[in-house]
Chain A
């Protein structure tokens, strides 16, 4: 114990005596450990998300799949849910939730709010209680009961300034009054259910007659009985699904049920894989940092050879010397670990800031949790062992040799040390390369995504959502007129070149699809219906979006309610359903349409748009004129002359003057929409580039160190060579060649590793090969250039070797 204290005290003195070394070592460690801490904190937050809920291992999501064996999260229908309740035996309870947007009016600005009607069992099942007041009761959930509402903390804060007097007050949703009975705590978060922030919870008041079996709009969760496993629940629910399929073949023939553990939803298998891959990547950076330290310590061990020789002569055993050196390394690593925590906190803040609009974690999940602290501690100790052990063992061996004055042995162990250092630096370069290549691949991926032709002009385009309340705009004519006038008024606004309206804007994170029957295809129609994207547009939609007309015509003002039902389809639709023939004049109808509805005639074919996302190939789309489908929920589109954001306020004013009670929301430029699509990819680029840059700079410092050491060791040889006629350039070449040889071996090994990594990440990349030659060759050249640069200074130093000094006999 006493000697351990002595070791620590001596270690501190050694660090204080070499402030330069200590500073470099600590900065290296702080960065290396810091990125690990930050990333682990995020992974840990992901991992602990299911623990928000009591006994989360018994909580499951229930999804209705379109095919029996499918494992995709698809919404549920209410009648099916009621049948599940009746027939299942594996659950202590089941719950159902719906999501809708409604207009909140009275007391202040009208506002579009996000409402989640749920069964009374929903919140208690998730372990969520009221912050003030209470949740709605089972009685209030019964059809026809008095209407109550529970506010979420964010609405309470935003609209009522956290006033406890809100209890008992009335809020009006789509002109229907609700009595506020409670407020949820701030940590209640339902993002995973509908990917939307919730403002109010209302009773679902589910009635068996209200919803159709094919209206699969709901989310369902259940709590398993304590003795029931997920597999057992899956078996029973599959059996029930089969019974429902037999009972309702029209709607349920292929429909299955997927029982997904909540923990899997919150931290899925692929999340897990991605987390481990990223942890491995940042682990590699720390490893690179450790190698640098190992090399620094090896160099120091050489210069401290005499100290150890004396210690050995004074009777210190090999173990004693190893322990002394390891204590110093541990000391270094622990101080580095504490600094790493600071770097980690900073990086976490940076991450949180980049996700300001949607932070998937709670305050208490992210940050320096005990698990994170433990991880950082273990990492620091591991780092100390990694960078401290080899130098300590080498030093101990050398010290004994020197004590015994075995010159030859010492020289050969010097050679061995040289080889060790070279292998270490090769290893460093070999793991740096895949990191840079990954960053390069993701950059290529983003470039590919950015250059995806979305089929319309995304520049100078403003989008703005308005939802006409159907209780006020209760006739087709009222809605048609309002939308037509709103578009006209928008177009008349200064700075706007043209305007139009559409129900779902392309790339807008929401879309709708319908099943259609194509005239002439009814006979060979398979069991699965034909689907197409469902778009309702005003006549100027295509010209405003700059979507090209391929054949036929655009809509005109004449395509009115009483006129012939017409549609425009995209090229994909035309190719899919009318291959080798002209789509113009062909007819189809929507399967959901009532029997008396007429056939719809195709009058035009337009270019494809990337409707459902940047990653997806275009799918069949149909466009119907708003005059014939007067939808209440429309997006106003304005093509502007300048920066679209500058016309946002005037356009709001225009709509407000037309209807002061109409909430306007989702106002943003198309550039913002695109930016959101690329947000996660950009974050990945920022993260990987940062990581790659860190790895590259660490590796080049490592290479620089090894080359400096190499030059120092070869002073004599260089002196001899100069005496034998070597010029400046020859000496320079000698060092650079050595440096590039190391780098080339590192690059070769790294390329093999990179190919492996590339093939794994390939599936995540958009039209970029996992072994993209441009990236692989480019990054290899980059690494060799950096290696040459790292070798340049030592090489220059080599040219300064004075043969007279180098060859002087000592």
Chain B
């Protein structure tokens, strides 16, 4: 389905002259156009995101950087479809998220997106194994298949030995490892990571970043928020956010 349109028609429709290049929408994982986010504050509004527009292609590894309060987390939750209250257009794999009903949006995000947070957000009263199983429980996975998927993932992340431990029995790095595992257990196309190494020592942080790199090489699109220049070097592209405005969107020269 979707809407496959040839570039020329689209250019015409958007009133662009020959200079802007429009790619076919279906090819992008993400296309944002003029996205705005504001909160009511007293009489007026405070804007958190202003005229955000960018595209992310499949397999990209993007870093969002910016000072605290710039709107990075807000942007990620819009991308992750946790927040549907925004203005503008958001196309995800060709589908107009801003026009989707809540049900369809939920379905789309379940099928495609995994989250990693700075505070890990593992559930304290569930074991590692049970934490990994949560995303699958919301995705119509058969119990036998679920067990297999969790076992696979435990294997892949080399945390089989920890499967019966509770989060508070793990170190921060191990917890974040579990959180990443949980984010990928349902094989998402896109991982959204909000300061995933913010609470970790640099050594632990490096491990997580290596992990992301490998996942990215295997084809997963990744968008991360980080304050660390070192971490940013793992990605191919850095979007700079400042007071809700995009102040830079540049390709990172490949590291040695």
Which A residues have a C-beta under 8 Å from some C-beta of B?
A: 716-717, 719-728, 730, 803-804, 807-809
Contacts and interface: CB of A to CB of B under 8 A. Distances in A.
Contact of B106 (A719, A725, A808): A725
A559 to B, nearest CB: 85
A360 B182 CA distance: 74
Nearest to A408: B168
A608 B103 CA distance: 68
Q: Decide if the interface of chain A is mainly helix, strand, loop or mixed.
A: helix
A720 B114 CA distance: 12
Nearest to A730: B138
Interface string B96-122: 000000110010011000010111011
Contacts of A804: 73-74, 77, 82-83
Nearest to B103: A727
A401 to B, nearest CB: 17
Nearest to A806: B121
Interface of B: 73-74, 77, 80, 82-83, 102-103, 106, 109-110, 115, 117-119, 121-123, 134-135, 138-139, 182, 186
Contacts, number: 46
7 contacts: A723-B80, A724-B138, A725-B139, A803-B77, A803-B82, A807-B117, A807-B121
B104 to A, nearest CB: 11
Contact of A723 (B82, B102, B103, B139): B82
Given A804-B74, A804-B77, A725 B135 contact: yes
A568 B195 CA distance: 100
A730 B139 CA distance: 11
Contact of B119 (A727, A803, A809): A809
Contacts of A716: 121
A724 B134 contact: yes
A726 B138 contact: yes
A706 B123 CA distance: 21
A725 B138 contact: yes
Contact of A720 (B106, B121, B139, B186): B121
A723 B118 contact: no
A727 B138 contact: yes
Closest 10 CB pairs of A and B: A725-B138, A725-B110, A724-B135, A720-B121, A727-B106, A803-B82, A804-B77, A723-B115, A724-B134, A726-B138
Contacts of A803: 77, 82
Contacts of A730: 138
A727 B105 CA distance: 10
B68 to A, nearest CB: 11
A723 B73 contact: no
B111 to A, nearest CB: 9
A725 B82 CA distance: 9
Contacts of A807: 117, 119, 121
A719 B117 CA distance: 12
Given A724-B138, A730-B138, A803-B77, A809 B118 contact: yes
Residue in A719, A721, A722 with the greatest tally of chain B CB atoms within 10 Å? A721
A725 B109 contact: yes
A723 B74 contact: no
B77 A721 contact: no
Nearest to A720: B121
A514 B58 CA distance: 105
Contacts of B109: 725
Nearest to A721: B134
Contacts of B134: 720-721, 724
Contacts of A809: 118-119
A807 B115 CA distance: 12
Contacts of A721: 134, 138
Given A730-B138, A803-B77, A804-B82, A724 B119 contact: no
A716 B119 CA distance: 11
Nearest to B76: A804
Residue in A719, A721, A726, A809 with the greatest tally of chain B CB atoms within 10 Å? A809
Nearest to B168: A408
Given A725-B138, A804-B82, A717 B123 contact: yes
A720 B123 contact: yes
B132 to A, nearest CB: 10
A236 B138 CA distance: 85
Given A717-B123, A807-B119, A809-B118, A724 B182 contact: yes
Residue in A723, A724, A730 with the greatest tally of chain B CB atoms within 10 Å? A724
A728 B186 CA distance: 20
Contacts of B102: 728
A18 B51 CA distance: 47
Contacts of B182: 724
B230 to A, nearest CB: 22
A719 B103 CA distance: 17
B127 to A, nearest CB: 15
Nearest to B135: A724
Given A725-B135, A807-B117, A807-B121, 12 more contacts: A716-B121, A720-B121, A723-B80, A723-B82, A723-B115, A723-B117, A724-B115, A724-B135, A725-B139, A725-B186, A804-B73, A804-B74
B177 to A, nearest CB: 17
Nearest to A722: B82
Nearest to B185: A724
A717 B109 CA distance: 19
B120 to A, nearest CB: 10
A700 B177 CA distance: 43
Nearest to B183: A724
Residue in B80, B106, B109 with the greatest tally of chain A CB atoms within 10 Å? B106
A809 B118 CA distance: 9
A765 B191 CA distance: 68
A721 B182 CA distance: 12
Nearest to B117: A807
B130 to A, nearest CB: 12
Nearest to B102: A728
B86 to A, nearest CB: 12
A555 B83 CA distance: 91
Nearest to B198: A809
A297 B80 CA distance: 40
A441 B135 CA distance: 48
B107 to A, nearest CB: 9
Contacts of B74: 804
A805 B82 CA distance: 11
Nearest to B82: A803
Residue in A717, A728, A807 with the greatest tally of chain B CB atoms within 10 Å? A807
Contacts of A725: 106, 109-110, 135, 138-139, 186
Contacts of A808: 73
B150 to A, nearest CB: 14
B145 to A, nearest CB: 16
Nearest to B106: A727
A547 B135 CA distance: 74
Residue in B118, B138, B186 with the greatest tally of chain A CB atoms within 10 Å? B138
Residue in B74, B83, B134 with the greatest tally of chain A CB atoms within 10 Å? B134
A527 to B, nearest CB: 77
B15 to A, nearest CB: 34
Contacts of B119: 807, 809
A410 to B, nearest CB: 14
A148 B138 CA distance: 94
Contacts of A720: 121-123, 134
Contacts of B138: 721, 724-727, 730
B121 A723 contact: yes
Nearest to B74: A804
A668 B121 CA distance: 77
A727 B139 CA distance: 10
Contacts of B115: 723-724
A727 B103 CA distance: 8
